[in-house]
Amino acid sequence: MLSIKKIWLLRISMIGVITTLRIVQFHVDSPFASNVFTLNIFSIIACAWIGYEIIYYQNNEPLKSLESAGKWSYSLYLVHPIVYNILFYLNYKETGHLIVIIVALLLSYVFYLLVEKPSHLFSVFVSKQFLEKKKVDSLIKI
């Protein structure tokens, strides 16, 4: 079983791996330092890391705040590219990074509430209806 010390050591190690690969990518003049190679190296290591995270959380409760944030993190992935454009359009051309982060988080959460969560709930509803219909159809055939 993984202890909390071991999982945090692994997480910190991953930060080191990511940092090292980014430094190599930007400071080594070689085709082998491109994303084509560095992302593949990272993907192999990240796959093992995610496996350990899964093992860890099979035996430990996740933090509720992180679990909640994880529900709308995909919205952050979708929304963050447009934040600079929105701020530029609103005449906030010289905006600091903290403002961009705050706006990205706020817009992502709103997007989650308005689009992602209702879509997920609708898909669950539709799949339950489909499964119920499938059960009824299988009973009719008997």
Q: Is 109 helix (H, G, I), strand (E, B) or coil?
A: helix
Residue 10's pLDDT is 94
Distance CA 58, CA 73 (A): 21
Write down the domain spans for the chain. Answer: 1-60, 65-142
Per-10-residue mean pLDDT of the chain, 142 residues long, equals 89 95 91 89 94 91 86 90 88 82 93 94 88 66 60
The closest alpha carbon to 2, from 67, 49, 45, belongs to 49
Residue 91's pLDDT is 83
Residue 94's pLDDT is 77
Residue 137's pLDDT is 62
Distance CA 126, CA 76 (A): 26
Residue 139's pLDDT is 56
Long-range Cβ pairs for the range 4-10 (8 Å, 24+):
4/60, 7/52, 7/53, 7/56, 10/49, 10/52
Residue 48's pLDDT is 94
CA distance from start to end of the chain? 48
Residue 66's pLDDT is 83
Q: Is the pTM of this model over 0.85?
A: no
